[in-house]
Chains A and B, each alone.
Chain A
Amino acid sequence: MIFGRLAPVTDLRMTDLRMNDPRKTIVVTGVGVVSPYGIGLECLQVGLLAGRCCLVPTKDMYPGFEGTTAQVCGLPHQANGASSRYSRSDRLAMVAARDAVANLDCESDTFRESGAGVFMASTVAGLSEIDPGIAEDPAAWYRNDGLARAATYPPAHVADAVGVDLGVCGPRCAISAACASSAMAIALAANMLLDGAATMMLAGGSDALCPFTLSGFSSLQALDPDPCRPFDQNRKGLNLGEGAAVLVLETLAGAAERHADVLAVLRGWAMTNDAFHTTAPQQQGNGLADCMRVAMEMAEVSGDEIGYVNAHGTGTPLNDIAETSAYETAFRGRNRPVPVSSTKSYFGHCLGAAGALEAAITITAIRCGALLPTLRLTDPIESSGVDWLRGEVRRESLPLAMSVSAGFGGSNTALIFGSGNNLS
Chain B
Amino acid sequence: MSSNLSAITGVGSVSPYGPLAGLIPPCRLEPESITAWPTAGLRRAFLVKPFRPASVVPGLKTRRLDRLAAWALVASSLAIQDAGIDLSQVDRSRVAVVFGTGFGCAELTEAFFQSAAASGWRGTDPSPFPEGLANAPASHVALWHGLRGPNITVGSTGFAGETALIQAASLLRHGQADLAIVLAGDTLTRSVYEWYEAAGLLSPGCYNSEPLPQGGGFVPSEGVAALVLEPAGRREARTYAQFSSGRWAAGGRAADAIRQLLGGSAPTLTICAGNGAPCASSSVTVLAREIGGPSAAIVPAQAVAAGLTDAGGLLHLILALSSRPRKGPALLLGTSGDGGFAAVLLELP
- By a beta-carbon cutoff of 8 Å, the part of chain A in contact with chain B is 1-4, 64-65, 113, 115, 117-118, 123, 127, 130-136, 138-139, 142-143, 147, 150-151, 153-157, 159-160, 163, 168-178, 181, 184, 188, 191-192, 194-195, 197, 211-212, 214-221, 270-279, 287, 290, 407-411
Q: Tell me the dominant secondary structure on chain A's binding face.
A: mixed
Q: Which residues of chain B come closer than 8 Å to A1, judged between CB atoms?
A: 175
New contact pairs (7) apart from A138-B194, A178-B133, A410-B151, CB-CB < 8 Å:
A135-B116, A172-B249, A212-B113, A214-B121, A215-B124, A218-B122, A278-B130
Q: Which residues of chain A come closer than 8 Å to B138, judged between CB atoms?
A: 409
Given A147-B195, A169-B252, A194-B174, residue A271 in contact with residue B130 (CB < 8 A): no
Most buried by B among A2, A151, A184: A184
In the complex the two chains form, what is the Cα distance from A215 to B176 in whole Å?
37
* Interface residue? B191 (CB, 8 A): yes
Q: Which residues of chain B come closer than 8 Å to A218, judged between CB atoms?
A: 122, 124
Partner of A163, one of B125, B199, B250: B250
In the complex the two chains form, what is the Cα distance from A211 to B122 in whole Å?
9
B110 and A156 contact, CB distance less than 8 A: no
B251 and A169 contact, CB distance less than 8 A: yes
A179 to chain B, nearest CB (A): 10
Partner of B113, one of A3, A4, A135: A135
A138 and B191 contact, CB distance less than 8 A: yes
A154 and B157 contact, CB distance less than 8 A: yes
A125 to chain B, nearest CB (A): 9
Given A156-B102, A212-B112, A278-B139, residue A115 in contact with residue B252 (CB < 8 A): yes
The 4 closest A-B pairs by CB, nearest first: A169-B251, A409-B139, A216-B129, A4-B174
Given A216-B129, A408-B130, A411-B135, residue A184 in contact with residue B152 (CB < 8 A): yes
A-B contact pairs, 9 of them (CB 8 A): A1-B175, A135-B191, A147-B195, A154-B103, A173-B154, A216-B112, A272-B150, A273-B142, A410-B151
B157 and A160 contact, CB distance less than 8 A: yes
Closest residue to B64 on the A side, CB-wise? Answer: A278
B198 and A279 contact, CB distance less than 8 A: no
A278 and B151 contact, CB distance less than 8 A: no
In the complex the two chains form, what is the Cα distance from A93 to B269 in whole Å?
40
Which residues in chain B, 136-174, are within 8 Å of chain A measured between CB atoms?
Answer: 136, 138-140, 142-143, 145-157, 160, 163, 167, 170-171, 173-174
* Interface residue? B131 (CB, 8 A): yes
Closest residue to B129 on the A side, CB-wise? Answer: A216
Closest residue to A163 on the B side, CB-wise? Answer: B250
B92 to chain A, nearest CB (A): 7
A331 to chain B, nearest CB (A): 19
Closest residue to B171 on the A side, CB-wise? Answer: A191
B148 and A287 contact, CB distance less than 8 A: yes
B32 to chain A, nearest CB (A): 20
* Interface residue? B126 (CB, 8 A): yes
Given A156-B157, A219-B126, A272-B93, residue A134 in contact with residue B249 (CB < 8 A): no
Given A4-B176, A147-B195, A409-B139, residue A191 in contact with residue B170 (CB < 8 A): yes
Given A123-B133, A176-B134, residue A290 in contact with residue B250 (CB < 8 A): no
Closest residue to A5 on the B side, CB-wise? Answer: B175
Partner of A156, one of B136, B151, B160: B160
A134 and B142 contact, CB distance less than 8 A: no
* Interface residue? B290 (CB, 8 A): no
Q: Which residues of chain A come closer than 8 Å to B174, judged between CB atoms?
A: 2-4, 191, 194
Q: Which residues of chain B come closer than 8 Å to A157, judged between CB atoms?
A: 157
Q: Which residues of chain B come closer than 8 Å to A64, judged between CB atoms?
A: 121-122
In the complex the two chains form, what is the Cα distance from A90 to B66 in whole Å?
26
Q: Which residues of chain A come closer than 8 Å to B142, judged between CB atoms?
A: 273, 275, 409-410
Partner of A176, one of B126, B155, B163, B339: B155
Closest residue to A412 on the B side, CB-wise? Answer: B151
Q: Which residues of chain A come closer than 8 Å to B129, judged between CB atoms?
A: 215-217, 219-220
* Interface residue? B248 (CB, 8 A): yes
Partner of A142, one of B122, B131, B151, B195: B195
* Interface residue? B347 (CB, 8 A): no
A130 and B121 contact, CB distance less than 8 A: no
Q: Which residues of chain B come closer than 8 Å to A115, judged between CB atoms?
A: 249, 252
B249 and A169 contact, CB distance less than 8 A: yes
Partner of B155, one of A139, A174, A216: A174
A154 and B155 contact, CB distance less than 8 A: yes
In the complex the two chains form, what is the Cα distance from A168 to B113 in whole Å?
35
Closest residue to B186 on the A side, CB-wise? Answer: A154
In the complex the two chains form, what is the Cα distance from A170 to B247 in whole Å?
10
B152 and A177 contact, CB distance less than 8 A: yes
Q: Which residues of chain B come closer than 8 Å to A134, judged between CB atoms?
A: 110, 113, 191
Partner of B148, one of A159, A275, A408: A275
In the complex the two chains form, what is the Cα distance from A136 to B131 in whole Å?
21
In the complex the two chains form, what is the Cα distance from A420 to B20 in whole Å?
52
B148 and A175 contact, CB distance less than 8 A: no
* Interface residue? B190 (CB, 8 A): yes
* Interface residue? B323 (CB, 8 A): no
* Interface residue? B104 (CB, 8 A): yes
Q: Which residues of chain B come closer than 8 Å to A197, judged between CB atoms?
A: 247
Q: Which residues of chain B come closer than 8 Å to A133, judged between CB atoms?
A: 117
Given A175-B154, A177-B151, residue A216 in contact with residue B249 (CB < 8 A): no
B116 and A215 contact, CB distance less than 8 A: yes
In the complex the two chains form, what is the Cα distance from A113 to B173 in whole Å?
27
A176 and B153 contact, CB distance less than 8 A: yes
A293 to chain B, nearest CB (A): 11
Given A279-B130, A409-B136, residue A174 in contact with residue B154 (CB < 8 A): yes
A176 and B112 contact, CB distance less than 8 A: no
* Interface residue? B304 (CB, 8 A): no
* Interface residue? B340 (CB, 8 A): yes
